[in-house]
Amino acid sequence: MRINAKLNRRGGFTLTELMAVLALLGLLAALIVPRVVGHYESAKRAACNVNKGEIELQVKLWRRNHGTNPAADLSNIGANASYFPVGLPTCPVDGSAYTIDTTSGTVIGHTH
């Protein structure tokens, strides 16, 4: 019985084809990764600005409801779930806590 040579031949990729695909994937990764990392840092700075705005808004509500500004370290307003139900945010850029100027009610620092 004679076996047909075409039936025994298996399809597959050659080493050259695999190397070409890996080179293209490496090139794409080299172009895309720096762009993604840069956007990640700017997103953290934008999130810090959003946190500052939210804190300053809650400070205004506290002042309207209590007649005074909260503590500079936000300990009293942070303990009240009506103002920050999931707790006080921390800065996504450097992980530090937010503080306020007790006369103006604005967040101190965080000028990323």
Q: Given phi > 0 = left and psi -120 to 50 = alpha, else beta, which region is 26?
A: alpha
pLDDT of residue 5: 54
Count of alpha carbons within 13 angstroms of residue 46, beta-carbon side: 6
Judged against a pLDDT cut of 60, whether residue 55 lies above it is answered with yes
Query: Does residue 111 lie within any of the structural domains?
Result: yes
pLDDT of residue 37: 78
pTM: 0.68
pLDDT band at 3 (very low <50, low <70, confident <90, very high): low
The total number of structural domains in the chain stands at: 1
* Burial bucket for residue 32 (CB in 10 Å: 0-12, 13-18, 19+): exposed
Query: Does residue 79 lie within any of the structural domains?
Result: yes
* Nearest-angstrom CA–CA distance, 85 and 59: 14
Mean pLDDT value across residues 79-96? 95
The domain in which residue 69 lies consists of: 17-112
Question: Using an 8 Å Cβ cutoff, are 74 and 66 in contact?
Answer: no
pLDDT of residue 41: 86
pLDDT of residue 36: 80
Query: Does residue 39 lie within any of the structural domains?
Result: yes
